[in-house]
Amino acid sequence: MEEALAITDSIIDAHRANPEALVEILREVNERRGYVTREDVHRVAERMDLPRSKVYSVASFYSLISLEPLGKHVIRFCEDAPCHVAGGREVWEALEQELGIPFGQTTPDGEWSLLTTSCIGACAVGPVMMVDDDIYGNLTPQKVGEIIARYRDAETQGGTA
Amino acid sequence: MIRSSILISGDPLSLSRGAEATKLAIEAELVFYGLEDEVRVGYTGRIGNTDALPAVIVYPEGTVYGPVSPEAGAAIVEEHLYKGRRLEDLVLPIEVAPGAIEAPSAVGDMLSGQRRVVLKRAGTIDPYSIDDYIAYDGYFALGKALTNMAPNEVLETVKASGLQGRGGAGFPAGLKWSFVAQQPAPTRYIVCNADESEPGTFKDRLILEGDPHAVLEGMALAGYAVGANEGWIYIRGEYAMAKDILNHAIAAAEDMNLLGDNILGSDFSFHIHVHAGAGAYVCGEETALLNSLEGLRGIPRVRPPYPTVSGFRGKPTVVNNVETLANVAPIILNGVDWFRSIGTERSPGTKVYTMLGDVNVTGLVETPMGTTLREIINVYGGGMKGGKAFKAAQTGGAAGSIIAPALLDVPMDYATMLQHGATLGSGALLICADDTCIVDLAYVLMRFFAAESCGKCVPCRLGTLRMMECLERLRQGRGTSDDLEELQRMAQQVIQTSFCGLGQGAPVSILSALRHFREEFDAHVAGTCPTGTCPMSGPVETAVELHDYFSIERS
């Protein structure tokens, strides 16, 4: 635990515990660990001399900061109108079917989280999703299966996609 | 001596498809043919609107290739650059690439009407090269202002140009600047709103990725005009590449003393910082943005006082959109008359649109203000996809309006659109053909607002949810005529009583849809979806689960 909090400390130090950088600090913690733990919230509050409730209010507000553990791979599917009109609904259903979970959940084996996101600014190639940091456009139900299979294959071969 | 330049699309999508390997292969092949000193290689933002990525442009010819694998990249070097023959098989047709490039000799009639002010350099220069920017008149406007113009002259020039804010509201930029300049406070700030989250809009991303210095120069000019020495760019958290390009550009400009202390030996100092958001649509609202910039929850502030009086850190602050700032340098350089010669009387200049949906060509278009939607669809969009009939367009993103065929020939500028009960907004144009269900579209739009409402005020937090539920019932064939009345009434109330622009904009599309497409709503009440899009069955979606402070503390 202390080891994990060392990361948090180093991020706070890098921003010189500047309260104006609170959003960025929490986001960086999230990036390093995948989510922000309760201990992180407490540590940030203590180190920056802020009420815990305030740190929590910021951490819970932004969609790129998670307070719950997410899967190893996170799919963020754009659910906005341009992607929807371009055939997003079929892709949405295909994703749920492929992973066997509804949106907003993580697979029991902890491999995949299926989330929705607001527009990610790649509308000309909608429907669009992000798998971790990579953007995939012009999705079809078939393509979704292929993309997920690619990540699964990479894992069984011990590499990365 | 450089005789050619190769630009590779380096947007996230292209990178995920191997743009880097292509770039390396091209560079290796250039060395092989001994061309490395004659041909410059660099990344640019997204090229055009093609899915054939990574794409490669070879200048000066302006030939666009795609998709370019590492092997194809090597072949382009050998054939095009070494032997001087185009690789016809790989050349992309002109119509897939009008969004981001301008190569005057290479384009047909199709692009003749585009007028590039903001996007003049995007896709032509390497955004990582400040030399490229300077070679295309970059920082000339700042130099001109600092040596020949008093701050007030810069301000008056922008005021006289009639430049309107391009973020959506169309507020006169010069007027906003003068409010800040009038404040007696010793410290003032310039904030660039790059929190582009309006669904269907990605113009700011392409400006930042393709021509970052244009925005930096605009900010420095704004700082000079109003007496600010510090600028902040609030960029949305999802735009990692644009952020990287901006940081690189700021460092390069500081190295050349085009930003920083005593710019070009003058008394004027200006520093720019980049601050990334963490995902929240409401942060595009300027006071919510300022809260987020200060490390707070991104919820809107009470206005007045307006940011021009009490903004960032409580100081007078100019908050301008990316596209607005990118217009400033050309105005200072070319003058008011030039700028006013483009566009309409009330809305001078150009507008950058993102065109999406059922058209043959999707992507970015920059045209003079006042261009009609019909022209944009037929000329730049290459007509409707599959020859389908035009049914509606959603203009200005989710907070915009749904417009009917009757408005196809209305000249689009801020004031004229408003007269017709529509908005230009962020410039997103979602074109829908006759097989699109308006009720379904309205539902998706409202779902967005229900998810993105910040929760500060009740009308928006609950109103968007209730409207979403009404629309959901209609989609499922369980709606009644009471639902339509309820929807109409609630939409009015949410507009009238919401705290900020998010809530006030949320029901606009619903009201315009009800006005233009009432019969389609009635059909859903009667139990049929005319286009067959809606499921017309199924359970009600439950509201989003929210966790609260107490539950995390207990867990």
Q: What is the mean pLDDT of residues B196-206?
A: 91
What are residue B211's phi and psi, to 5 degrees?
A: -150, 65
- pLDDT above 70 covers a percentage of chain B that reads 91
| Residue among A26, A117, A121 whose CB faces B202 most closely | A121
Lowest-confidence segment of B204-218, B244-258, B533-547 by average pLDDT: B533-547
Q: What is the mean pLDDT of residues B295-322?
A: 96
Query: How far is residue A48 from each of residues A30, A36, A60, measured CA to CA in Å?
Result: 17, 16, 18
pLDDT of residue B450: 92
Lowest-confidence segment of A99-103, B11-15, B389-393 by average pLDDT: B11-15
Q: Which band of pLDDT confidence, cut at 50, 70 and 90, is reported for residue B100?
A: very low
| Residue among B99, B205, B278 whose CB faces A23 most closely | B278
- pLDDT above 70 covers a percentage of chain A that reads 97
Mean pLDDT, chain B, rounded, equals 88
pLDDT of residue B50: 66
Low-confidence ranges of chain A (pLDDT < 70): 1, 158-161
Interval B147-169: pLDDT, tens: 999 999 999 999 999 999 998 88
In this structure, are residues B403 and B391 in contact, taking their beta carbons and an 8 Å threshold?
no
pLDDT of residue B276: 93
pLDDT of residue A56: 95
With CA atoms as reference, report the closest residue to B440 among A12, A124, A20, A81.
Answer: A81
pLDDT at B373 over 70: yes
List CB contacts (< 8 A) between B240 and chain A: 133
- Min Cα distance A56 → chain B (Å) is 7
Interval B116-134: pLDDT, tens: 888 888 878 889 999 999 9
Q: Alpha helices, DSSP H only, in B17-85?
A: 19-32, 70-76
Q: What is the mean pLDDT of residues B352-371?
A: 88
Q: Which of B9, B16, B426 should we substitute to test contact with A (largest number of A Cβ atoms within 10 Å)? A: B16
pTM, full prediction? 0.84
pLDDT of residue B418: 87
Lowest-confidence segment of A129-133, B304-308, B319-323 by average pLDDT: A129-133
List CB contacts (< 8 A) between A20 and chain B: 293-295
Per the CB < 8 Å rule, is A86 touching B356? yes
Per the CB < 8 Å rule, is B428 touching A133? no
Q: What is the mean pLDDT of residues B481-487?
A: 93
pLDDT of residue B48: 61
Q: Which band of pLDDT confidence, cut at 50, 70 and 90, is reported for residue B548?
A: very low
Strand, coil or helix: what is A113?
Answer: strand
Q: What tokens were used for B501?
A: 């622009």
In this structure, are residues B9 and B53 in contact, taking their beta carbons and an 8 Å threshold?
yes
- Min Cα distance B509 → chain A (Å) is 12
List CB contacts (< 8 A) between B441 and chain A: 81, 84-85
**ipTM summary value:** 0.91
In this structure, are residues B507 and B496 in contact, taking their beta carbons and an 8 Å threshold?
no
pLDDT of residue B87: 83
Domains and CATH numbers, chain A: 2-59 (no CATH), 73-156 (3.40.30.10)
Domains and CATH numbers, chain B: 4-111 (3.40.30.10), 130-340 (3.40.50.11540), 350-409+421-433 (3.10.20.600), 448-525 (1.20.1440.230)
pLDDT at B359 over 50: yes
d(C-alpha B519, C-alpha B507), whole Å: 19
Per the CB < 8 Å rule, is B428 touching A123? yes
Per the CB < 8 Å rule, is B549 touching A134? no
